[in-house]
């Protein structure tokens, strides 16, 4: 396709097969209403040990308002940049998460947030999939996105929800303890029913990459594999992490032939990437003072591509910005340290709804 044709082609309202085609429309999360989720084995398994006390004490309450306010300002800056770069930005509802709810077999003191659309919604081509997340506090998270999902559905998108999980006690492994990484280490969730978070997957056209984690089990991966059928292949990536949750701070294909990886968590680059250039993310900037409630500082490498070159990156990550430039990309810096507190950065905070491109194989 030549460039004139490319400009006039109009794509379905939802159309995204990879992490890098030219971005036209995106959902950016909101932080207002965020609450500290109830203490649970799946929380313990995935958040920094330093924060366990905070979570136990503030469970069910809103996060400190000064942190919410500062994160909201980061998000506004991000949205302005995206709009200035020509992207249509959509936002979920600002829902208060401090309402308790119950299912027949369990109850939950509050929800979490509507900050990370990447965690729960998976866009593959013209389909949006609501994923079966195992955190009870995230059971109704999709509600904030329902008006948008209904709109996209009316405009022709395919809309699917994976089997709604029961989230009864059988799903959890109460004896789970972090004993360090090994190939056959135990997880906080069992194989009782299929569960996965969307953010444990990254997309490269016909090939998708997934990590098994404390939120994504084998049955969850198998459900998606059968659901997507023969057009797609799902490959499991070995990530050396004893508290895995979300692959996008470990393994991130940035553009055709360009792979970003965590220098310690990815020991072996999967064979199919042998002809790709690999960038090992530099250490997160140690001079930055930060609160990280829910993740490691490696959210620094959680970048977001606007096309094959333009990449959204944290303004203070100077070494990383240099490395991205040397890697042939065009970094767009944005303040995001305050948002990072809530467990993610640009890739987590977004869901690319429409990119200009078709289904392809890159291998
Ligand atoms: N668990 C990762 C870490 O601590 C953070 C993953 C963030 N990704 C996301 N989609 N929320 O490094």
Active site residue 214: no
Q: Is the CB of 345 under 6 A from ligand 1?
A: no
Question: What pLDDT shows up at residue 182?
Answer: 96
Question: What pLDDT shows up at residue 9?
Answer: 81
pTM value?
0.97
Residue nearest to atom 4 of ligand 1 (CA): 295
Whole-number Å distance between alpha carbons of 128 and 353? 9
Contact criterion met (CB below 8 Å) for 218 and 189: no
Q: Is the CB of 249 under 6 A from ligand 1?
A: yes
Question: What pLDDT shows up at residue 43?
Answer: 97
Is the sign of the CA dihedral 343, 292, 68, 300 positive or negative?
negative
Tokens at 84, concatenated:
């200035």
CB atoms inside a 10 Å sphere around CB 57: 10
Centroid of ligand 1 to alpha carbon of 362 (angstroms): 25
Low-confidence ranges of the chain (pLDDT < 50): none
Cβ-Cβ contacts under 8 Å for 334 (sequence gap 6 or more): 74, 77, 78, 81, 312, 313, 314, 315, 346
Centroid of ligand 1 to alpha carbon of 139 (angstroms): 19
Catalytic annotation, pick one of 197, 200, 241, 248: 197
The total number of residues shown for the chain amounts to 363
Q: Which atom of ligand 1 is nearest to the CA of 348?
A: 10
Mutational pocket test of ligand 1: of 113, 294, 299, 301, the residue with most ligand atoms within 8 Å of the beta carbon? 299
Cβ-Cβ contacts under 8 Å for 270 (sequence gap 6 or more): 209, 235, 237
DSSP H or E run through 252 = strand 251-255
Q: Which atom of ligand 1 is nearest to the CA of 298?
A: 12
Centroid of ligand 1 to alpha carbon of 5 (angstroms): 38
Question: What pLDDT shows up at residue 2?
Answer: 54
Q: Is the CB of 299 under 6 A from ligand 1?
A: yes
Mean residue pLDDT across the chain: 97
Catalytic annotation, pick one of 67, 214, 246, 262: 246
Question: What pLDDT shows up at residue 134?
Answer: 98
Distance of CA 151 to the CA centre of its chain: 22
Q: What is the pLDDT of residues 154-180, one digit of tens each?
A: 999 999 999 999 999 999 999 999 999
Q: Is the CB of 344 under 6 A from ligand 1?
A: yes
Centroid of ligand 1 to alpha carbon of 115 (angstroms): 13
Active site residue 307: no
Distance of CA 132 to the CA centre of its chain: 14
Centroid of ligand 1 to alpha carbon of 113 (angstroms): 15
- E strand spans, 58-197: 88-90, 101-103, 106-108, 121-124, 127-130, 158-161
């Amino acid at each position: 396709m030549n460039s004139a044709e490319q400009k006039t082609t109009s794509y379905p309202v939802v159309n995204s097969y990879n992490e890098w085609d030219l971005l036209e429309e995106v959902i950016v999360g909101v932080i207002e209403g965020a609450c500290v989720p109830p203490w649970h084995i799946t929380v313990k398994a995935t958040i920094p040990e330093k924060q366990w006390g905070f979570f136990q004490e503030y469970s069910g309450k809103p996060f400190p308002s000064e942190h919410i306010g500062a994160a909201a300002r980061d998000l506004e800056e991000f949205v302005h940049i995206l709009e200035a770069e020509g992207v249509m930005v959509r936002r979920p509802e600002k829902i208060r998460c401090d309402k308790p709810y119950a299912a027949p077999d369990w109850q939950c003191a509050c929800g979490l947030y509507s900050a990370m659309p990447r965690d729960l919604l998976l866009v593959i081509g013209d389909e949006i999939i609501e994923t079966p997340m195992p955190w009870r506090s995230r059971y109704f998270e999709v509600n904030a996105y329902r008006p948008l999902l209904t709109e996209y559905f009316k405009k022709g998108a395919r809309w699917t929800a994976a089997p709604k999980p029961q989230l009864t006690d059988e799903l959890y492994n109460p004896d789970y303890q972090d004993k360090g990484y090994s190939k056959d280490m135990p997880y906080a969730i069992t194989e009782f029913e299929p569960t996965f978070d969307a953010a444990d997957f990254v997309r490269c056209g016909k090939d998708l990459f997934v990590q098994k984690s404390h939120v994504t089990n084998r049955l969850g991966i198998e459900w998606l594999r059968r659901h997507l059928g023969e057009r797609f292949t799902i490959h499991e990536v070995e990530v050396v992490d004893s508290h895995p949750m979300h692959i996008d701070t470990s393994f991130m294909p940035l553009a055709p032939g360009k792979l970003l990886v965590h220098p310690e968590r990815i020991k072996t680059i999967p064979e199919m990437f042998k002809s790709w250039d690999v960038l090992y993310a530099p250490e997160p900037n140690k001079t930055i003072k930060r609160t990280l409630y829910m993740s490691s500082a490696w959210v620094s490498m959680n970048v977001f591509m606007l096309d094959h070159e333009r990449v959204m990156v944290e303004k203070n990550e100077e070494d990383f910005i240099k490395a991205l430039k040397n890697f042939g990309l065009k970094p767009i810096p944005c303040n995001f340290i305050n948002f990072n507190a809530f467990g993610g950065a640009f890739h987590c905070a977004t869901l690319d709804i429409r990119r200009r491109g078709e289904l392809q194989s890159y291998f």
